[in-house]
Amino acid sequence: MIRYFAILILIPLWLPAQDSYPLTVNSGGLHVAADATLNIAGMELTPTSDYSFTVNTTNTVSVTNSSETVNDLETMSKVFGLQSPATFQGTLVYNYEEAIMNGVSHDAALYVFDESSQAWSEYEDQDTDDFTVTHVFDGSVSISKLTAGVSDNLSIDDNPMFGISVYPNPVSSNLNINGLEDPKSSLYNIIGQLILTSNSKTINTSRLEPGTYFLLVKDQNNNQSNFKILKK
C-alpha cells in the first residue's frame, strides 16, 4: 500500500514584515528555512541551509507500507519516496513503530537510495533512542528513497585482544566461532535471559526467534569476548 501526501499550507493575505519564514510554498516549490523542521509522516528534515523541492500537481512525497531489500536483507516496512529529490544537508530523523520493524532490531541504520547512481548508501544511527534513526549529514546527499534496516557494522564482530571472530552476522542457521579451539559460549536474549550454552565452534541458531542476542565467549583461561548477534 502506498500513501501519498499532498502538502497544503495556508498563507494569510497579509504577513508582518520579516526576512524569512520557516516554511513557504510558491510556484518554485516547497522551501524549508535553515534550522526549521519539516515532519512528513515521521520523516523529519532539519536542514542546515535552506532546502527546497518541487511541489506540483503530481505526488511529491510517498510512503510505502512495504520493505526494500538491501544487502540481501529486508528493511523496515516503511519507505519514503521523493519524486523530485533535492540535495539535502542537515539532520534527518526516521521515526518508526514496533509494527513496521519487520525483524530489524533497534540497532538499525539509515538507508538512502540515490536514483542517479541506482545505489543504496548506509548511514549510522547517531542517537541512542529506540524508535528513531538519526543522522546528521555534514555533506550534501541526494534522497530518492529513505528507510531503515540492519546495520552493516554487525557483519563480523572482531575482538583484537583475543583474535576471536564470529560469522556470519546476521545469521539464519549456523553461527561459527573463529580463533579458539575449545570455546565456551553462552547466548543471551536482549533482556539478559540465558538461551543456550555450547562448547562447540558452531552454534545452531535456526530455532531461535529473529531479533538481537548477545554471545559471551570464553577461552581456556576464562578470558571473555562479547558479541552482538542479529538473528534473521
**How high is the pLDDT of residue 5?**
52
**Cα(146)–Cα(137) distance, integer angstroms:** 14
Range(s) within the chain of domains with CATH label 2.60.40.3080:
155-231
Contact status, residue 28 vs residue 91, Cβ threshold 8 Å: no
pTM: 0.62
CA distance 70 to 206: 22
- Range from 13-22, 128-137, 161-170, 210-219 carrying the lowest mean pLDDT: 13-22
Q: Residue 18 above 60 pLDDT?
A: no
Higher pLDDT, 124 or 134: 134
27 pLDDT above the threshold of 80:
no
CATH class for the domain made up of 155-231: mainly beta
What's the whole-number mean pLDDT along residues 106-121? 89
pLDDT (0 to 100) of residue 10:
35
User: Is residue 217 within a helix (H) or strand (E), and if so which, with residue range?
Assistant: strand 211-218
The per-residue pLDDT for 58 is 57
- Cβ distance 229 to 212 under 8 Å? yes
| pLDDT digit string, tens, across residues 141-198 | 999 999 999 876 544 444 545 678 888 888 889 999 988 888 999 999 877 788 999 9
| Residue 9: predicted pLDDT | 37
Nearest to 222 by CA among 184, 188, 187: 184
Tens digit of pLDDT for each residue in 81-105?
A: 987 667 899 999 999 999 999 888 8
Mean pLDDT lowest among 1-5, 65-69, 114-118, 142-146: 1-5
Task: Spell out the residues 6+ positions from residue 24 whose beta carbon is closer than 8 angstroms to its own.
Answer: 9, 11, 30, 31, 33
- The pLDDT of residue 6 is 45
